[in-house]
Structure 1
Amino acid sequence: MSHLRYLCDMSVTRDKLIEAAVVALNQDESATIEQIATMAGVTRRTVHRYFNDRNTLVQECKQTMLQVCNLKMTQAYQSSQQPAIQLENMFYAALEVGIQYSFVKKLFKRNQYTNLVNNQERAYDDVKANWFKLVEILQQQGAIDKKLSIPWIYNLFGGMVDIAIEAQQAGDVARNDIKSFSWTSFKGSIGLQ
């Protein structure tokens, strides 16, 4: 029984380290192992017990966050057959995973979506392709302003999620208002009817 508890504690610690690393790396992409350890409330030695080096930790963060984001965004995409509702639900899913979404977006922006080699990265690319299709359909239906390019709208989407995360972290806006304020702002910025 104690062996099982030890394995569970290891998993919890590993997850805690990944969460702390995502927060630290989202704030500063060059965050050191020491900074990540401090954010997690552990020593550098504890981090090294689970991850050989910073690159291993970053890769683990990337894989974990891709899984989380892909799952939430895919569920949101499949939640309806109506493109406007799908887009809204994908927006809420991105807000729900907030920092993870922002982290993944930054990683992929830095890589400019090239050299996608593993399944999670391909799945992220599929989610992005589905999102682009939704916006294209909504533009064809006249629900979104055609003057705005789809990549521009995609950047607005991610930017609005980042703004919502910053507002939540700063405490400037009531937590309950962030969801409606950010959706209303995004929807208005793209002329969604």
Structure 2
Amino acid sequence: MKGTKEKLIEAAVVALNRDESATIEQIAAVAGVTRRTVHRYFNDRSTLVHECKQTMLRVCNLKMTEAYQSSQQPALQLENMFYAALEVGIQYSFVKKLFKRNQYTDLVDKHELAYDDVKANWFKLVERLQQQGAIDKKLSIPWIYNLFGGMVDIAIDAQQAGDVARNDIKTFSWTSFKGSIGLQ
């Protein structure tokens, strides 16, 4: 069972994904607690955001690395990394937003560096698939990376809105992504 601190971090990630300027009060509302409860665990909003970042980096890095190492077949590795991103969904989206704001030269934390390694592995994987002719070479790797993240965001939005049956989201999103990059 999750402790209060973990629940507060999860609530903060949800609130900050909706609105990056979410206040402690808004985060507390998502968690179903008072502002005072949040302050028992975190001195201020900055500390809470930092804890969220570290926790989500750890979770995302672990899942994406496991997915990358799950096979020696590049297409299957990419598919497994896509499913891992879906599995950690909102955390993946949160981490992606954080890194859009940061310059990579500013990264010093080991989890942040591990994120860079995961991203580098992902880029190499897509490059290998393009060299094999499995992915359309007309598409740049950064473009494909943004499609990947965008499809994860779309899946998260569809799940939260209830627009698509939960069981269909995985299939629909992977089919859409691989079709958009020409992967057979």
TM-score tier (shorter):
over 0.9
5+ long unaligned stretches in structure 1: 1-7
Match of 2:5 among 14, 36, 39: 14
How many angstroms does 1:157 deviate by?
A: 0.1
**C-alpha separation in 1, matches of 2:84 and 2:33:** 30
Partner of 2:178: 187
**C-alpha separation in 2, matches of 1:22 and 1:144:** 33
Partner of 1:71: 62
Partner of 1:147: 138
Question: Is 2:144 aligned against 1:161?
Answer: no
**C-alpha separation in 2, matches of 1:124 and 1:187:** 23
Q: Render the CA deviation track for 1:46-78: whole Å, top value 9, x for unaligned.
A: 101100000000000000000000000000000
Q: Render the CA deviation track for 1:130-184: whole Å, top value 9, x for unaligned.
A: 0000000000000000000000000000000000000000000000000000000
Name the larger-Rg structure: 1
How many angstroms does 1:110 deviate by?
A: 1.1
**C-alpha separation in 1, matches of 2:107 and 2:135:** 30
Matched residue SS, 2:126: helix
TM-score (norm 2): 0.98
Partner of 1:105: 96
Q: What is the CA RMSD across the aligned residues, in angstroms?
A: 1.0
Q: Render the CA deviation track for 1:59-101: whole Å, top value 9, x for unaligned.
A: 0000000000000000000000000000000000000000000
**C-alpha separation in 1, matches of 2:107 and 2:50:** 14
**C-alpha separation in 1, matches of 2:14 and 2:29:** 12
Match of 2:22 among 25, 31, 37: 31
Matched residue SS, 2:167: helix
Aligned residue pairs, count: 184
Partner of 1:91: 82
Identity %, equivalent residues = 89
How many angstroms does 1:114 deviate by?
A: 3.5
TM-score (norm 1): 0.94
Partner of 1:176: 167
Which ranges of 4 or more aligned residues in structure 1 deviate by more than 2 Å? none
How many angstroms does 1:111 deviate by?
A: 1.0
5+ long unaligned stretches in structure 2: none
